Amino acid sequence: EVIKLGSLVTTNKGSFFIAISRGQITIDNKMYFAIAPNAPIGQLLLGKRAGDTFEFNGNNFSIQLVE
């Protein structure tokens, strides 16, 4: 599944909800950082899939799950 608006993304460094910037939120008892698709990390995530990697602020991220 490709990351898009509304995706829940689990990486090796944290989990993200691609929606609006709201900081840390809980969905189904799991913590996510709610980020906007136009935020710098949101732009890096859009279009990627589980298994892809990217670098942000000198940190390497590995995408583990996209829901």
Q: For 7-43, write each residue's pLDDT tens digit.
A: 999 999 999 999 999 999 999 999 999 999 999 999 9
pTM tops 0.85? yes
The string of DSSP letters for 17-50 reads: EESS--EEEEETTEEEEEE-TTSHHHHHHTT--T
Bridge partners, 65 (sequence order):
10
With the C-alpha atoms ordered 58, 3, 52, 24, is the resulting torsion angle positive or negative? positive
Report d(CA 61, CA 64) in Å as an integer: 9
pLDDT tens for 51-66 read 999 999 999 999 999 9
The reported pLDDT for the residue numbered 48 is 99
